[in-house]
Structure 1
Amino acid sequence: MFNSISAQASKLVNMTQSKRTINSNSKTKLITITSGKGGVGKSTFTANISYLLSQKGYKVAIIDADIGLANMQVLLNVKPQYTLFDYIDAKATLKEVILPTPYENLSLLAGKSGYKYSNHSNSFVLSRIVQDTLDLDEFDFLIVDTGAGLNDYVQEFLNISDNILALTTTDPSALTDVYALMKMLSKDKSSLMLCFNHTKTHNIGLTISKSLENLAQKNRLNSDFMIKYIGNVSSSESISTTGRLRKLFACEFTHDKVTLELNSVIDALLMNIN
């Protein structure tokens, strides 16, 4: 299976990436959460770990960077007057775009479904809102929830972040995409954090992570590039129910196995971020 993943992943890697870096002395830590494949539960995962971080006393802001399919405002039950694109288009200030949520210490820079990103193609406008939010120096964490795939705007967020967390599942197509992500990032990044969603046990994710590492070594990816496995999150029928009700699972089911797993992921995340 992993040989097939390697062959398919090679076709997904864009060999001509644009480069952009973030320059900031801000205390705010930038974390980019991505997946490659859609449908793995990335936005729900992002919303819930952001909430749990906020409950630990950290000030957290989320950028909903799922261009064209923004849904973080639904998960967090807010109705934005302005989105991050209003700031990019100079129709609102950054302060107007940063929205409070019903959860203490948790803010949102909302995205916009159907936005025509092509209007700003290759202009690094998405990097700008990250840089400007970091420069505010008001948050402990700025968490970017990217869209699916490895397209230009996802790559823009990946290029500017040193803390990248990939959420995947055991599905072969999801693993193909995460290996393509590894292959791309290994060119100029030092590591990738990896978490498995809808995965019953910690050891299942650990075993697959080691297999991906072995595949990377076999195909001679950058030997200094590290995969940091930070945990698994199992499934619960209540997760989709709370999402439809515009509530967060980790808030409603504080002692559930999934919430405990999310807290373990956060502990590992805090140990591995730069």
Structure 2
Amino acid sequence: MFNSISTQANKLLHLTKKNSTASKTKIITITSGKGGVGKSTFTANMAYLLARRGYKIAIVDADIGLANMQVLFDIKPRLTLFDYIEGRNTINEIISSTAYNNLDLVAGKSGYQYANLKNSLVLSRVVDEIKGLNKYDIVLIDTGAGLNEYVQEFLSVSNNILALTTTDPSALTDVYALMKMLSIDKDRLLICFNHTKNYKIGETIANSLVNLAKKNRLNHNFVVKYIGNVSTSANITTTSRLRKLFAHEFINDEITKQLHLVIDSLLENIH
């Protein structure tokens, strides 16, 4: 399935690029495999810190059927990604401003039944049109849990894929499944650990995943790059419940400092 989606999406992007100017925008798809690892909260706070550094950022809430991002940013968007998908509005019209400078959101829609639509590659066009605006430095795509065809399509159109995971065995199993799938068509995967006590623990587990991949003879050219960790903190839970960002409310907290380090490594490794 992923091979088929990847081939179709790449053909579409190749055709659209022929008619568009070069874009400065970098696309980063953030995925997890397993739900419940804190991916949306992580993405929202990382976007905020990138925006504070002066980067122009957009988030695409690509968790089909849910709408976590608008809750985290405490906004009620008039239009969503699915108004574009259904052909009622343009890309520019569905982009919502947030309360933070340099940070916009393309919101999702809770309960949306995307399966009713037949043209899956509309998702690829969403990404390409946002990139074509050439107004953002980075677009973060927050995918849903699992590796369904919609997640796979967003993965297929991005050269920068970041997997967020925890030390939970089922989460690690899902990340390894992601590695196996991506190693067929992609050349690398960035990994970050959430709710993990220190950098070294994440590094050790990441190395174990690499060794397992070698043992099972995955594509030897496929690179897994560990970019850091964020520890567990009650501040994360508290701020999310209050519809606030921990990186904004607790600027000097250890978890915010850890996320800054993750961002430093991310910026060094995206292309």
User: TM-score per shorter chain, which class?
Assistant: over 0.9
- 1:105 aligned to 2:94? no
SS in 2 for 1:187: helix
The answer as to whether partners of 1:101 and 1:107 remain within 8 angstroms in 2 is yes
Alpha-carbon contact 2:46-2:263 (below 8 Å) kept = yes
Q: Which moved more, 1:87-96 or 1:257-266?
A: 87-96
Match of 2:52 in 1: 55
> Alignment partner of 1:77: what SS?
coil
Q: In 2, distance between residues paired with 1:123 and 1:29?
A: 22
Corresponding position: 1:37 with 2:37:
no
Shift of 1:69: 1.6
Residue of structure 1 aligned with 2:5, choices 1, 7, 18: 18
Query: CA offsets, 1:41-72, max 9 Å, x none?
Result: 00000000000000000000000000012210
TM-score (normalizing by structure 1) = 0.93
Residue matched to 2:85: 88
Alignment gaps of 5+ in structure 1: 1-13
Aligned length: 261
Q: Does the 8 Å contact 2:2/2:153 carry over to 1?
A: no
Check if 1:134 corresponds to 2:131. yes
- 141-150 vs 111-120, which deviates more? 111-120
State the partner residue of 2:172: 175
**Deviation for aligned residue 1:161:** 0.6
Q: 2:182 aligns with which of 185, 205, 211?
A: 185
2:180–2:218 CA contact under 8 A, matched in 1 = yes
Q: Work out the CA distance in 2 between the residues paired with 1:106 and 1:66.
A: 19
2:188 equivalent to 1:201: no
For 1:157, the equivalent position in structure 2 comes to: 154
Q: Distance in 2 between matches of 1:122 and 1:164?
A: 24
Q: Percent identity?
A: 64
Aligned to 2:61: 64
- 2:247 matches 1:260: no
The answer to whether structure 1 residue 226 and structure 2 residue 217 are counterparts is no
Mapped to 1, the partners of 2:260 and 2:4 lie a distance apart of: 34
Paired residue for 1:11? none
Write the mapping of 1:207-246 to structure 2, written as runs, cut at 5 A: 207-246=204-243
After superposition, give the CA deviation of every residue in 1:21-43 in whole Å (9 maximum; x if it has no partner). Answer: 23442100000000000000000
- Cα deviation, residue 90, structure 1: 1.6
TM-score by length of 2: 0.94
Q: Which runs of 5+ in 2 are unaligned?
A: none
AA aligned opposite 2:258: E
SS at match of 2:5: coil
Preserved CA contact (<8 Å) 1:28 1:137? yes
Contact 2:164-2:193 within 8 A present in 1 as well? yes
